[in-house]
Amino acid sequence: MIDLVWLIPLLPFIGFLINGLGRNILPKPLIGTIASLAVIGSFAISLSIFLTFDAAQPQVIHLFDWINVGSLSIPFAFQIDQLSIMMLLIITGIGSLIHIYSAGYMSHDAGFGKFFAYLNLFVFFMLLLVMGSNYVIMFIGWEGVGLCSYLLIGFWYSNGAYADAAKKAFIMNRIGDLGFLLGVFLIISTFGSVSFTEIFPKAAGMVSGDATLILITILLFIGATGKSAQLPLFTWLPDAMAGPTPVSALIHAATMVTAGIYMIARSNILFALSPVTLDIIAVVGLLTAVVAAFIALTQTDIKKVLAYSTVSQLGYMFLGLGVGAFTGAFFHVLTHAFFKALLFLGAGSVIHAMSNEQDMRNMGGLRKKLPVTFLTMLIGTIAIAGLPPFAGFFSKDEILAHVYEHNKLLWIIGLFGAFLTAAYMFRMMFLTFWGNFRGTEDQKHHLHESPVSMTFPLIVLAILSMVGGFMGVPHALGGHHWLNEYLGPVLAASNNILPALSLEHATEYMLMGLSVGGVIISIIIAYVKYVSKGYVPKEEELQSGINKLSYNKLYLDELYTAIIQKPLDILSTFFFKVVDKSGIDGLVNGLGKVSIEASKTLRLLQTGNVGFYIFAMVIGIVAVLVYSFIII
Amino acid sequence: MENITSTIQAVPLNHYILLSAIIFTIGVIGVLVRRNAIIIFMSVELMLNAVNLLLAAFSSYSGDASGQVFVFFIMALAAAEVAVGLAIIVMVYRNTSSIDINILNRLKW
Amino acid sequence: MNLLLLLFFPLVGALVTLLNSKFAKQSAFISSLVTLAFALLLLGDFVPDASSQFVVNYPWIPALGINFAVAIDGISMPLVLLTTGLFPLIILSSFGRSISQASFYALTLFMQFGLLLVFTATDAFLFYVGWEVALIPIYFICALWGGENRIKVNMKFFVYTIAGSLFMLLGIIYLHLQTADNSFSIASFYNLNLDATTQGWLFWCFFLAFAIKMPIFPFHTWQPDTYTEAPTTGTMLLSGIMLKMGIYGVIRWLIPVTPLGFLTWGHLALILSIIGIVYASIIAFTQKDVKRLIAYSSIGHVGLIAAGIFVWNIQGLQGAMIQMVNHGINVVGMFLIADILIDRLKTREIATMGGIAKVAPKFAIAFLIVVLGTVALPLTNGFIGEFLLLHGVYQFNIWYAAIAGLTIIFGAVYMLRMYKAVMQGETNERTASFKDINGSEFLVLAVVCLLIIVIGVYPQALLHISEASVENLMNQVNSKLAF
């Protein structure tokens, strides 16, 4: 089966070609079927590989030599191991569901064929990202998904604001990409190779805290902050909600944004040997988690709430990585993919029913009209809030337990963020599904449950959100943490370096109790405020006090415009008008002017007075004579 | 021939050089200080003749006839030059009623 | 297959085109295709080792030791392919434009002769002749068919380049006088062992000529004006191929002939190149004229190529070799896109455009692919070049690489800004009736897009051609530098 691994990315790529070329010719149902089948086919192959793969060593499948220059050799090759298999399952599995969902969601859009072509292309690049056997192939996928993200965010490009959001996403990602690229260069010069199978054994022999390793990991982490929307580069992700909702679910929740975590988990040995970087990652992740949660508290756009929630959850994953809980972070990637894809698709279903209304202030009371959407989203919300035994509880708890052991202060802040998560998520649920309907009559009339192609993925994801956590039941709860064992071969080297979790079971129970208790209290507060009192946020309240800071996203966009974009544009104009036009070009033109002026002055010597000419001639002759006879 | 050569050689070479230098200098100064075109012209002739004298003297002292051949060339040339030069001066006089060269300052930018 | 056939066929083509003015564009196009076929035949016989192949060497002016000596090695081959490959595209892209006249095509083909001479000459005098021969037609093309300010701008362009080349001529003559065998051949130039000070002076003589041609900051100010005022087809010739003469000159002549001068001054040249990358990219941010924006972006990209050469390692050089080809392809695509916009909308102002993607989807896709190639997205040709170049610069100094790498970010900024302003948003009355690309435009853009992706996916084919020669040249210079 492993010989067919090249088919996994090829199938979506073929789907992209067929749909891209035939987007105006093929009928819509056929396009949707081709696109979905391509991804489902990849999923089937991935699944069979998952079931048959039992090698302890990563399997490398060499396709062809891509770049060979001097001693630098970059093969186009795939690597299959436990980590990439898990990612393959997530990408193709959730990808298939979202393709099916999109067939219903996008059915009225004029750009149907284009949409599926892009979506297939995205899956192709995402698969390259996780299957690449070296950093450069990973980088192809890394930038390729950025491209697809750009295309899909700007899918409705006629709206200038959407096009701007797409552009912003691409550029902010590129800032991170430069860090990634420099990191790759440093890896090449340190290890003489880009292939994982050559780098990691060499790295394992280096001492912890090696300066080069720290620099490499910091540069790679800069790459991750761009792709995975961490401070200070996260502001593109909320704007990315301009894209169609299935895109938000697939790209901006389940897969692409977790690429940074995948990359760090893939390079775990490099990071495990760089404690300084790990600390930086933990702090950045935690800050992002709390800041994003804080912003999410006052957002009124249902997708924006979910976007900030994604940023916040990604922050938790980085926090987990930072404290050395690689399995925990990756566990959270998986569970988050389930429940966040679910929530986004649910939100899409709501938006679909509400005739493209996204403002929660105009919703309310939808639970009766959209029962399936409501129930599945409720499951997703409980999962993300972290109530047992749903998926989010296990993964988040594992991260927090590691954080607790690592540093108590980080843990307190992290726990506080988890409470905020529960608060804003249930706020969203209460505003949307409880209370009275606040939209227009037209919308009310139009309200309907979504078609089966949309509710089926919701149900599947809801089930996964319920049971997904059982793949990592901690020992304290009587499990044996299957995921940890499964990923063992990939993380073995760094597990030898990093201390294992050594908390007493009693302490773990205490941590779980605290977080569950806090979450329940948060939910009750939200319930009282938004259901019992029926509070609906008003614009003027959002624009006052601390709400103002949160509602306006801490003014980060304005800050970046003021300190980066504006100065660069001013610099550009300055360079163009002053340095280039007046300065350098002025100098060049000046040379021309000087010769013209000089000739104007010199020609005055030509007086026309013959006597003067003769006199000058005689003087000249005398000078020559004096020079040749006396001086020489 | 013998006669002329010995006659020339009767005077020491230095005297010839000195004389021509004096004549030449008179010519130069004449050209520089006078404004009358005819006087200037005459001064130019004076300079030419100073050179001729020198050529003749050197030629006989070094026993090489080519110097004296040059003298003939120069004299022929000078005659032609005088013809052209005087014609120009006549034209100048007709046009400006003057032969003061300082009037002729149109030859400039 | 004889190299002379390749060299002189364009001249025949020019003559035929001129005489046959009724079918000028057809005969010019066919001539360029035949030349391309010759080049491909040569490629078929080419062995990718370090040797000079298809050598032709006739005495031309024996009294002065001047030979008509041409040959192709791994460094010339990609450029010959680029030149012969781009000419059919450029000629095709001029179909249906007002420039499509017999005299224009004759000049274009004449220029091809000069360019091929530059890329194949192994005699310094012949190189110089080709260098100037290529300049004359482009002068007339710009002067006859350019924009409003063409005379003034063209004058500056001409004087600027000529000033540079005269320094080079000075250097060539000096080197000729030093040769033991009274020769202009490149081999005897390579074998000269002059002292470091002399080589320093010679370095500057050659560097000025090449730096102006490329152009490298701060010798670039002729370029944006000329690119903007020249007819777009002329701009393609200038930016797609002609500036490669400068880069080629640095690799072939400047550094190998004056290695000690390079040792002294190369670092300064490197710094200038890197300044140019950032400087030109930043200027491109706020350009309002679509051609001027591309012109500045080109300065940035060429700066990176130059930086890759001046760091003088295998990755940088190979990156420069492949990026020369890539830049030629991309910039021709970019200027064709600009030409289509200008042709349809009668304006160069970006601000007056918008929403074109909606009315011209094929054009939008082609534009996007060219933009992606230009911003060096992986699996496009630009990535291969920039990756190798940045890696080369990185090996020299990590900070230089970080600064030069800003091109990755800045390139995305100005290119996507332009793409957004031109293609996205709502249409206005000007762009609402924009016609999608037609036959010849479609063909050219399709070839350009195909090349962008093919080279991006399988660059090894191109890298392989130049590898041995580049390594050989590097070792030869390094042995003189006593590394």
Domain positions in chain C are: 3-481
| pLDDT at residue number B7 | 82
| pLDDT at residue number B107 | 66
Domain positions in chain A are: 288-547, 559-631
A357: left (phi over 0), alpha (psi -120 to 50) or beta: beta
Look at C409 and A171 and tell me if their CB atoms are within 8 Å. yes
Q: Which residues of A touch C313 (CB under 8 A)?
A: 70
CB-based contact C14:C120 (threshold 8 Å): no
Range scoring the smallest mean pLDDT among A120-134, A280-294, A606-620: A606-620
Q: Residue A499: is its pLDDT beyond 80?
A: no
CA distance C365 to C357: 8
C160 close to A (CB below 8 A): yes
| pLDDT at residue number A631 | 75
| pLDDT at residue number C203 | 93
pLDDT band at A472 (very low <50, low <70, confident <90, very high): confident
pLDDT band at C387 (very low <50, low <70, confident <90, very high): very high
pLDDT in tens, C441-472: 999 999 999 999 999 999 998 999 999 999 99
Question: Which of B28, B104, B109 is closest, CB to CB, to A610?
Answer: B104
Q: Residue C176: is its pLDDT beyond 60?
A: yes
ipTM associated with this complex: 0.91
Nearest chain A Cα distance for residue C451, angstroms:
16
B97: left (phi over 0), alpha (psi -120 to 50) or beta: left
Measured torsion, CA atoms of residues C125, C128, C130, C136, in degrees rounded to the nearest 10: -140
Distant-in-sequence, close-in-space partners of A586: CB < 8 Å, separation ≥ 6 = none
Nearest chain A Cα distance for residue B54, angstroms:
18
Residue C216 is given by DSSP the state P
Q: Residue A387: is its pLDDT beyond 70?
A: yes
| pLDDT at residue number A398 | 87
CA distance C86 to A138: 33
CB-based contact C168:C128 (threshold 8 Å): yes
Q: Which residues of B touch A611 (CB under 8 A)?
A: 32, 35, 101-102
Residue of A266, A256, A262, A310 whose CA lies nearest to A122: A256
End-to-end CA, chain B: 54
Domains of chain B, first to last: 2-6+13-100 (1.10.287.3510)
Q: Residue A143: is its pLDDT beyond 60?
A: yes
Look at C463 and A68 and tell me if their CB atoms are within 8 Å. yes
Q: Which residues of A touch B106 (CB under 8 A)?
A: 608
Nearest chain C Cα distance for residue A186, angstroms:
8
User: In the predicted model, what is the mean pLDDT of residues C418-426?
Assistant: 89
The three-state (H, E, C) secondary structure of A368-413, written as one string: CCCHHHHHHHHHHHHHHHCCCCCHHHHHHHHHHHHHHHHCHHHHHH
| pLDDT at residue number C451 | 94
B103 close to A (CB below 8 A): no
Range scoring the smallest mean pLDDT among A176-185, B4-13, C23-32: B4-13
Q: Residue A610: is its pLDDT beyond 80?
A: no
A473 close to C (CB below 8 A): no
Partner C, chain A 38-77, Cβ-Cβ below 8 Å: 64-70, 72
pLDDT in tens, C348-371: 888 888 888 888 889 999 999 999
Question: What are the DSSP calls for C288-339, one per residue?
Answer: -BHHHHHHHHHHHHHHHHHHHHHTTSHHHHHHHHHHHHHHHHHHHHHHHHHH
Q: Residue A504: is its pLDDT beyond 60?
A: yes
Give the count of beta carbons closer than 10 Å to the beta carbon of residue A594.
10
Residue C65 is given by DSSP the state T
What is the average pLDDT score of chain A? 88
Residue of C475, C476, C480, C483 whose CA lies nearest to C196: C480
Partner C, chain A 571-600, Cβ-Cβ below 8 Å: 571-573, 575-576, 579-580, 584-585, 588-589, 592
Beta bridge partners of A74: A67
Residue of A306, A322, A194, A304 whose CA lies nearest to A260: A322
CB-based contact C345:C467 (threshold 8 Å): no
CB-based contact C123:C186 (threshold 8 Å): yes
Give the count of beta carbons closer than 10 Å to the beta carbon of residue C479.
10
Look at C426 and A160 and tell me if their CB atoms are within 8 Å. yes
Q: Residue A68: is its pLDDT beyond 60?
A: yes
Nearest chain B Cα distance for residue A595, angstroms:
17
Residue of chain A whose alpha carbon sits nearest to that of B104: A609
Instruction: List helix spans (H) across A192-229.
Output: 196-204, 211-227
Residue of chain B whose alpha carbon sits nearest to that of A612: B32
User: In the predicted model, what is the mean pLDDT of residues A80-89?
Assistant: 90
B28 close to A (CB below 8 A): yes
Residue from C380, C397, C408, C424 to probe the interface with A (highest A Cβ count within 10 Å)? C424
Look at A608 and B102 and tell me if their CB atoms are within 8 Å. no
CB-based contact A154:A165 (threshold 8 Å): yes
A174 close to C (CB below 8 A): yes
Q: Residue A532: is its pLDDT beyond 60?
A: yes
Nearest chain A Cα distance for residue C416, angstroms:
6
Question: Which of A70, A154, A182 is closest, CB to CB, to C401?
Answer: A182
| pLDDT at residue number A613 | 82
Nearest chain A Cα distance for residue B69, angstroms:
26
| pLDDT beneath 50: ranges in chain B | none
User: In the predicted model, what is the mean pLDDT of residues C55-75?
Assistant: 90
pLDDT in tens, A549-567: 777 788 888 888 888 888 8
Secondary structure class of A229 (helix, strand, coil): coil
A10 close to C (CB below 8 A): no
Beta bridge partners of C58: C68
Q: Residue C10: is its pLDDT beyond 70?
A: yes
Query: What percentage of chain C reaches a pLDDT higher than 70?
Result: 100
Nearest chain C Cα distance for residue A174, angstroms:
6
For residues A468 and C115, the model is more confident at C115
Look at B108 and A618 and tell me if their CB atoms are within 8 Å. no
Question: Which of C224, C285, C388 is closest, CB to CB, to A568?
Answer: C285
B104 close to A (CB below 8 A): yes
Highest mean pLDDT, choosing among A388-392, B64-68, C308-312: C308-312
Question: Which of B31, B32, B106 is closest, CB to CB, to A608?
Answer: B106
Question: Which of A608, A609, A615 is closest, CB to CB, to B32?
Answer: A615
Q: Residue C1: is its pLDDT beyond 70?
A: no
Nearest chain A Cα distance for residue B21, angstroms:
14
A37 close to C (CB below 8 A): no
Burial of C425 (0-12, 13-18, 19+ CB in 10 A): buried
Look at A614 and B106 and tell me if their CB atoms are within 8 Å. no
Look at B32 and A607 and tell me if their CB atoms are within 8 Å. no
User: In the predicted model, what is the mean pLDDT of residues A60-69?
Assistant: 88
Partner A, chain C 239-298, Cβ-Cβ below 8 Å: 279, 282-287
Rounded to 5 degrees, φ, ψ at B64 are -125, 120
CA distance A141 to A36: 20
pLDDT band at A405 (very low <50, low <70, confident <90, very high): confident
